[in-house]
Every structure is written in structure tokens, then in C-alpha cells.
Amino acid sequence: MKRPIRYLAGAVATSVLLLGLGPGTAHALQEEPPGPAKDYSQVPQPAVPAPKTVAAGMRITFDDYVYFGNQCTLGAVGTDAAGRKVGITAGHCNPVPDKEWNPDNTQRLTDNTWKPIVGPAVNVHTTTNDYPVWDWRDVGAGPIGWIRYVSVDERPGREYPINKLDYMVIEFAPHVTLSSQVMTAPKYATRTNESGEQVLDYSQVVEPAKPWFTMNALYADAAGNPKLPPFGQTLCNAGAITNEGQVQGGTPTDLICGMVWSTADGVIRTSAGQLGGDSGGPAFIKGTGTKWAGIVSWWAPGANPVAQWAYTSAKKILDHLNSWRDANGNPMTGNGFTIFNG
């Protein structure tokens, strides 16, 4: 769910309901890197990073190359029991050696010095800053944080949906400020590529990102404990790529929504579709004030032809996050997660 994709009419599953915080319809767009060859040179990083604000719905990446090959969406931001600023996204976003361009995990491309970035091992609490995370739209500002924990990734034998616990914990850098304000994507100009197709030109912002909605509470019971949505509720996806397509089409506050069919094993199966890059993005139950209910995980075909999309519930994530201990009985970064309200 994390590679660059093309927006195509009908790319989202059938039986998906397009709901708006305003009226509108989906639109067909494309995305690709500029030029005939992908540029894998690295973006210069500042000696001292500038202040940065992060929020759910933010598009993130796990490398600092000019051509961003790895992209996902932040699902929730908050603080843990130790007061650290943390974020939640999908575990399968963990960067692994690229199977298409780097089949033996060591080969370099012939036209430059690019080599794959590989993330941390799964189910390990990582306390070093060896695995940075960047704001996809502002890589040149420096890392916004570092991966601290991954439940599962896409290394052979662990491809989703084999392991249904799909989340990652990010600890944000000191210069980062948290926000509950979810923003729309910017609107970009388009250009004609070498094949004569109209694609987005990310170097040309037509309209900046705008405030969309706030996500400052957890979908929970009366006691404040995270809960699973019941059958028949409507779940909505605020993934970064889905929203980017809506912004380009002139309906920036529309959402992809669908009925909740089941919540077995803490995984919400629904007809609310997803696009590549939405992974980890926030989901909420329509009519609950956009309270965080889960994150985008994977396409999950099964016996029910309309429940084709899986979301890892906030309950499943937090139950595991708050109970996890290492061999010495120590909790991980993120333990005691409280969603940010401000």
C-alpha cells in the first residue's frame, strides 16, 4: 500500500460510498516522478532542522531521496506515559529491500549510487535514531522522528495480511510540535509526461494545504477504553493519497467511506476503499466527531465481496502497545498513548 500509484477512475473498490464534509465525486489523476529516469540522489539535510508541525493524515516517507519510493500516512499523534511525542502508522510501511529494483538486497542501480534503506527488525524496541522518518512534502527540512517499533513488515514470509497486527510507533524529534488539526493535501499543477499523460507536478503548488477537521479523541466506551465499531456503522478513510486525489478533483473534504461488516481479531473489514500510500492513515466512524478508530492496513479479498478492505483497529493497536514488554519487562516507546488534543 505504500508505493507511488496512479489515480484511476474506479480504482477504489465497488460498494464504496463517497461521503463529503461537502458534495463531490472521485476524479482520475496520475502520479509519477519527473523525467524519463527516477532520480535517487539524496536531498541535502539541514544542520539544524526548522520547527515542524505534525498531525494525523500527514504524508510521510522513510527515505531522503529526490524520488520518494516509500510513502505512507500518519494515523494518530499523541504522547506516551513518559511524555514523549509519538505517532502511529502501519507496520507494513517499514522499509524493506525493494524486490523489483534490488532482488538480491545488495545490488546498486547502474545509473547512480542508490541503495535500499532497510528498517528495523520487527517486534523489537529500537531506541537508536538509525531509522528516520520525514515529512514527504518537506524532506529537505530534515527528519521529523524515528521508528521505534514495528509489528510486521513485508519481508518474505511476513507479507500482509498474514499477521493482522499491523502498526508502527514513531517517536518525534524535539523540534516537532503536535497538532489535532488534520489538513487537506495541497493542490498541485499538472504536466504532460513523456507518454503524453497528464500527471501531477509536485514542484508547482496551486493551492496550499487547508484545515480539514480535528482528530483529538479516541473512539472509546464510556470509561474511555478503546472499542470496536459495531456491524453496520460507516467507517471513513482520511488517507493522504485518497485526499490528494479529492483535492486535485476540486472536492478536498470528501472522504472514502463504507459499511463495517466485521471486526474479528480487532481488524475492521469494510467496503471503505484505500489507495497505495494511504497505509497507516486515520479512520473514524461517521457521526462520532471524527474520533480515531483505526488505521488503513490492506486490501483483503475474502468470502464477502464487499468487505474487501481491512483496517487495524485503534483498540487492537493500543491493547498490544500498552501490554508489550521486552525481555527485561520494560515497555516500549508509546506505552500509555494518549491522542493529542490541541
- pLDDT mean across residues, the chain: 83
Q: Report the pLDDT value the prediction gives residue 158, as an integer from 0 to 100.
A: 66
The pLDDT value given to residue 111: 46
User: Percent of the chain, pLDDT > 70?
Assistant: 79
pLDDT of the residue at 305? 82
Distances 65 to 33, 127, 210, 239 between C-alpha atoms, Å: 12, 24, 26, 22
Is the separation of the CB atoms in 2 and 221 below 8 Å? no
Binning pLDDT at 50, 70 and 90, where does residue 16 land?
very low
% of residues, the chain, pLDDT over 90: 59
Using 50, 70 and 90 to split pLDDT, how confident is the model at 97?
A: low
Non-local (6+) Cβ contacts of 94 within 8 A are 62, 119, 120, 122, 147, 150, 153, 154, 168
> Which residues are CB-neighbours of 172 under 8 A, at least 6 positions away?
54, 77, 84, 85, 86, 87, 144, 145, 178
* Alpha helices by DSSP H, 97-255: 240-248
Determine the residue type at 40.
Y
**Residue 325 or 101, more confident:** 325
Question: How many DSSP H helices and E strands does the chain contain?
Answer: 2, 21
At residue 130, the pLDDT reads 94
Beta-carbon neighbour count of residue 335 at 10 Å? Answer: 21
Residue 220 phi/psi, 5-degree rounding, is -145, 170
Could you count the other beta carbons within 10 Å of the beta carbon of residue 51? 8
Kindly state the average pLDDT of the residues 146-150.
Answer: 97
The predicted structure's pLDDT at residue 164: 80
Dihedral angle of Cα 137, 138, 139, 141, to the nearest 10 degrees: -170
The tens digit of pLDDT for each residue in 112-139 reads: 455 667 899 999 999 999 999 999 988 8
30-34, 270-274, 293-297, 299-303: least confident range: 30-34
Report the distance separating Cα 85 and Cα 87, nearest Å.
Answer: 7
Which run of H or of E encompasses 323? helix 314-323
Instruction: Kindly state the helix (H) or strand (E) to which residue 319 belongs, with its residue range.
Output: helix 314-323
Residues present in the chain in total: 342
Q: What is the pTM of this model?
A: 0.87
- Among 27-41, 94-108, 117-131, top mean pLDDT goes to 117-131
Contact 267, 312 (CB under 8 A): yes
* Residue 79 neighbours by CB distance under 10 Å: 17
Q: Which residue has the higher pLDDT, 159 or 123?
A: 123
Q: What pLDDT, in 10s, does the model give residues 218-269? A: 999 999 999 999 999 999 999 999 999 999 999 999 989 999 999 999 999 9
What are residue 77's DSSP bridge partners? 87
Residue 35's pLDDT is 55
Residue 321: which H helix or E strand, with range?
Answer: helix 314-323
Instruction: Find all residues with CB under 8 Å of 98, minimum gap 6, and list them.
Output: 69, 116
Mind listing the pLDDT tens digit for each residue in 178-226?
Answer: 999 999 999 999 888 777 888 888 888 999 999 999 999 999 999 999 9
pLDDT at 63: 85
Whether 145 shows a pLDDT value over 70: the answer reads yes
Check residue 198 and give its pLDDT.
82
**Banded pLDDT at 288 (limits 50, 70, 90):** confident
Domains in the chain: boundaries: 17-339
Sign of CA dihedral 220, 310, 296, 160: positive
